[in-house]
Structure 1
């Protein structure tokens, strides 16, 4: 497993050119859109006789429309074509669009510029499936969280900087308009230059036959995704995030102006702190996940979105401004720091929520169908954002204040999250395991790169405590099917965790022969389906900290299904309150102190033909060493 910082990817050709390509695309989108919206809002009479309110609704709608209409085709193209080639063609399209828009800027032709908005929507639609399908082709599994974090950070920073620059440029009158025309062309050219460095990314399905009907292709994509329940619900979870974010961010202009009594700089400040939060949360995901795809962060992020969304509503009610304020004056107002902290933390927990979802989709989706799956997600995102706009409008019509909209959205998030996590308990289970190893224990993984990223294997480990499976689950980069003594499997509370993890209970033949035979059948089926299976060959917890004799069940497993066997050793758990140490549990807990240190040591895979219970016991004992 990589121990390098995610920022080391910025020095590597397999990542850096792609990062700058997507960053410049997001940056240019928002320079152009914000400049247009600003000039139409504050200088409409020099550009058009149409109502400004109509244009402010039309422009975002035209940008989103291509995501609904063209995403299905864009996903097919990204699976059919080499992604570097496709990225360069999309960047050339961006240059053409910006050249056409330059004519619209210089001629004050609103309709050309509105067509440019639709064109940039097409550009983003075509690039979207490439953006997330590219990463798993060039990054290792333990780099995906860091890579996705950088991409999300870059996207939101690009959006923020683009909005600031676009608003600043057009504030300088006709000279500013000319600057917008020239700078957007320049950014598009820089994006194309960056794309020239993107390494070859082979087509996932070069023989794919294109279906140009967006309706039938979208239905087919979503139906395909529904076959993989965790992936499909991750798509819905991702779309829900955009629903939540669309409602919150859409209120910021009026919230800043009417509720906080701020000028435009206060609105920019709100966007800045939110974008900073998203960037920080996205980057923190790598550290908190331990370089693996840790979906336990998703419930953590969801909890934060509700907690700080509710507190934002409460803090808004407590804020009072006696006069109109600038950004600097706003910061000095009573209650302003609490408001800004809530917005920052909304962004941070949004990063915790969204980055692992992207990584899960990338690792669990069928590789040959990933771009089309991302395209389907983009369609869902666009539809959820439209529904968010309608929902916010309906609440405003019903007389909701903006803080009440924040409160309603945060409370609704609680119910949506509970529903999603009830359908896929793996999210909540991994969250509980993640909390365990970051509170009661501090777990260090050694040699975890030996756990294969794909394909079946049997993991073999010593059995020290009732939490062994939870610790292993938290350290593994992939889901693990555990084989566990049926008596431990039935322990209240933690039994729910084991059932959620699809643990296979086993019993000795003298206790329950039928259950024992069924267990071996279930193990064979799991291995045939390419899953990881973990067994504790001792058959019971150690009573003195030493490793008990390994039993012969492992031989029965690999004789039926010959797969690699990976020895592992837990050390540091003996003496915890969850072990069978007979000394006083309170005295042990005090002696060990909080945040006690554990290690999981993983050895090199063994061929099934080289395995015997005795050899495995020797390997596990050597991996554990003297530290029990």
Structure 2
């Protein structure tokens, strides 16, 4: 049984209007609330413990100033030690059984912690902190490897957005509940103990309703050496450049977020001159911002994987982090103020807006990367790749703490740390996008299809989610390839007339996309033969190959005769043992726009010829079996789509 299709009867990719509908379905809702309660309990426990050590328990060997650092370090340590092993468990065993086992472990840990809270035993609670970190380490790979097995490609971005939103809301609620319960006079310790056990029991009860999800690699032999297994997981991730760079990109996002979260108390007290309520408000704004950004991903991507949002998110993160420096550095000295007095000053609203927007863009940045990793990983070792990601996340968070400490020791202010983080984010993001140009290309495609044109796609369910296929489309303008990029959640290799590479800007874009130039055989035999060889390589690798069978951009808006190059491609594919269906496609309403060729004057000479933000479309037809393809028949199919 194929684990990726075993739940096909459950998943209905086109039935749900949006991501919130998933909360009404058994394949997602019990899992969502299980992970939500787990994140909430982690933070309820940690924050209540931190409050008690800081304000209520006098422990000579654990000064209050060090309590938060020690608790955080103990919680992160299992991610470094056991992530590699937990990734193997998640690939080898049924994920639902893993979820239930981990939630049962949580109950046991919380029962021990309850005794520690009631007796005021700090060593016991430190042990439980480490064990709760282990609990989260075991759950992490299952959490993100579960989603692609129960959600379709159209649901994956929305599902990840819901999970990320839920995680940050749970963190916020857990911190608030932990602080409130710990502060209850006389019964605070007992209330925290009862709260932790109750949330663990509720999480285990909800986990019972998670549907069975089969193992993806049941024959895997467990390697118990965490160091060699970690190295092996990183090597697995490096098999795909896009996946590995995405792991680094997600880890950088955690570095970025940790730099801000760690400075909220100092920002509230020393820069904004606010009390504890102001510090809590900063956490609320940050968490809500990330949640909104995560939820927006599905809307902005039109229910597909859209990694073009990642550069957009990076730009927003840097821009608003840098503006936060300017907004915070100019605040005058003031007496300590409560929440109402803080909100009464207009200058503080700019700080809150910057914080909300940088966190919103962080949500846009991270969700598509998680979805890309889930889609591009081999199912048999997906959980191990996610485990490697968790290790990198922990290392980057530790690095953020060390760098923030070094900057403070060097005399930097909190606003200067934000400035450093914003500039560093711009540098790191630019480096990653240069290494993996697919991000930038998809960003350009997203901008063109959403902001330059109103681009609508009909029949996108005919685009294959996996496997080799040939996309055959009419050629109307110089941005046809960009629009096809925007329509497909998978990368496309384009076979294009060599003359289009001479067009300023667009030529550079197509070279960055590694489009395949083709020239007439009589004109340039070497380029002609090299083009078909590269096209065969794309299909052998199971990729999408797009061609424009007319051979050039139309000069009169009419569909031209299809040339025979597609038959040569199919013949070569059959010789290689590749059965690649042909997907007919038709771009509509694009003729007469700025990028189309109209005489006199040609293309790109009258920006407002059709007005701004004109409506264009793409109609995608059912696949045609390679044995039934003929140029005339394919042209008829595309002509029918133009009239649809």
| Fold shared per TM-score above 0.5 | yes
Choose which of 44, 48, 64 in structure 2 pairs with 1:31. Answer: 44
Choose which of 339, 347, 351 in structure 1 pairs with 2:359. Answer: 347
Contact 1:465 1:580 (C-alpha < 8 Å) held by counterparts = yes
Does residue 1:622 correspond to 2:640, yes or no? yes
1:324 deviation in Å?
1.3
Contact 1:456 1:527 (C-alpha < 8 Å) held by counterparts = yes
In the alignment, the residues of structure 2 paired with residue 55 and residue 276 of structure 1 have an alpha-carbon distance, to the nearest angstrom, of 27
Match of 2:618, SS?
Answer: strand
* Number of residue equivalences: 625
Match of 2:608, SS?
Answer: helix
Choose which of 105, 114, 119 in structure 1 pairs with 2:131. Answer: 119
In the TM superposition, 1:561-576 aligns within 5 A as 561=573, 562-576=579-593
Contact 2:96 2:212 (C-alpha < 8 Å) held by counterparts = yes
Match of 1:190 in 2: 202
Match of 2:268 in 1: 256
1:197 deviation in Å?
1.1
Match of 1:285, SS?
Answer: helix
Does residue 1:582 correspond to 2:568, yes or no? no
Contact 2:293 2:364 (C-alpha < 8 Å) held by counterparts = yes
Choose which of 461, 480, 498 in structure 2 pairs with 1:468. Answer: 480
Contact 2:293 2:361 (C-alpha < 8 Å) held by counterparts = yes
Does residue 1:151 correspond to 2:168, yes or no? no
1:226 deviation in Å?
1.2
Contact 1:458 1:564 (C-alpha < 8 Å) held by counterparts = yes
Match of 2:524, SS?
Answer: helix
- Structure 1 residues 570 and 412 mapped into 2: Cα distance closer, same or farther (>3 Å)? same
Question: Structure 2: where are the runs of 5+ without partners?
Answer: 1-12, 574-578
Contact 2:165 2:292 (C-alpha < 8 Å) held by counterparts = yes
TM-score for the superposition, normalised by structure 1? 0.98
CA displacement, residues 244-285 of structure 1 (integer Å, 9 cap, x when unaligned): 111111000111112111111101100001111000000000
Match of 1:457 in 2: 469
1:50 deviation in Å?
2.9
In the alignment, the residues of structure 2 paired with residue 188 and residue 455 of structure 1 have an alpha-carbon distance, to the nearest angstrom, of 43
In the alignment, the residues of structure 2 paired with residue 603 and residue 180 of structure 1 have an alpha-carbon distance, to the nearest angstrom, of 59
In the TM superposition, 1:407-422 aligns within 5 A as 407-422=419-434
1:85 deviation in Å?
0.3
1:403 deviation in Å?
0.3
Moved more, 327-336 or 275-284: 327-336
Match of 2:630 in 1: 612
Does residue 1:77 correspond to 2:94, yes or no? no
Moved more, 313-322 or 373-382: 313-322
Match of 2:7 in 1: none
Choose which of 82, 90, 96 in structure 1 pairs with 2:102. Answer: 90
Contact 2:592 2:609 (C-alpha < 8 Å) held by counterparts = no
Match of 1:20 in 2: 33
Match of 2:136, SS?
Answer: helix
Does residue 1:107 correspond to 2:119, yes or no? yes
Match of 2:212, SS?
Answer: coil
CA displacement, residues 295-347 of structure 1 (integer Å, 9 cap, x when unaligned): 11111111111000000111001223532111222111231110000010011
Contact 2:595 2:604 (C-alpha < 8 Å) held by counterparts = no
Contact 1:48 1:110 (C-alpha < 8 Å) held by counterparts = no
Match of 1:398 in 2: 410
Match of 1:308 in 2: 320
Match of 2:24 in 1: 11
Match of 2:551 in 1: 539
Contact 1:319 1:334 (C-alpha < 8 Å) held by counterparts = no
Choose which of 506, 510, 515 in structure 2 pairs with 1:494. Answer: 506
Contact 1:550 1:613 (C-alpha < 8 Å) held by counterparts = yes
1:4 deviation in Å?
1.8
1:436 deviation in Å?
1.2
Contact 1:142 1:292 (C-alpha < 8 Å) held by counterparts = yes
Match of 1:437 in 2: 449
In the alignment, the residues of structure 2 paired with residue 182 and residue 613 of structure 1 have an alpha-carbon distance, to the nearest angstrom, of 72
In the alignment, the residues of structure 1 paired with residue 292 and residue 343 of structure 2 have an alpha-carbon distance, to the nearest angstrom, of 21
CA RMSD across the alignment: 1.4
1:93 deviation in Å?
0.3
1:439 deviation in Å?
1.4
In the alignment, the residues of structure 1 paired with residue 511 and residue 31 of structure 2 have an alpha-carbon distance, to the nearest angstrom, of 41
1:587 deviation in Å?
9.6
Match of 2:226 in 1: 214
In the alignment, the residues of structure 2 paired with residue 178 and residue 495 of structure 1 have an alpha-carbon distance, to the nearest angstrom, of 68
Match of 1:362 in 2: 374
TM-score for the superposition, normalised by structure 2? 0.95
- Structure 1 residues 527 and 586 mapped into 2: Cα distance closer, same or farther (>3 Å)? closer
Choose which of 528, 549, 568 in structure 2 pairs with 1:556. Answer: 568
Contact 1:44 1:52 (C-alpha < 8 Å) held by counterparts = no
Match of 2:141 in 1: 129
In the TM superposition, 1:475-490 aligns within 5 A as 475-490=487-502
Match of 2:215, SS?
Answer: coil
Match of 1:326 in 2: 338
Does residue 1:200 correspond to 2:212, yes or no? yes
Match of 2:399 in 1: 387
In the alignment, the residues of structure 2 paired with residue 242 and residue 455 of structure 1 have an alpha-carbon distance, to the nearest angstrom, of 33
Contact 1:450 1:604 (C-alpha < 8 Å) held by counterparts = yes
The runs of at least 4 aligned residues of structure 1 exceeding 4 Å deviation read 583-589
In the alignment, the residues of structure 2 paired with residue 394 and residue 614 of structure 1 have an alpha-carbon distance, to the nearest angstrom, of 69
In the alignment, the residues of structure 2 paired with residue 334 and residue 596 of structure 1 have an alpha-carbon distance, to the nearest angstrom, of 40
Choose which of 23, 40, 47 in structure 1 pairs with 2:53. Answer: 40
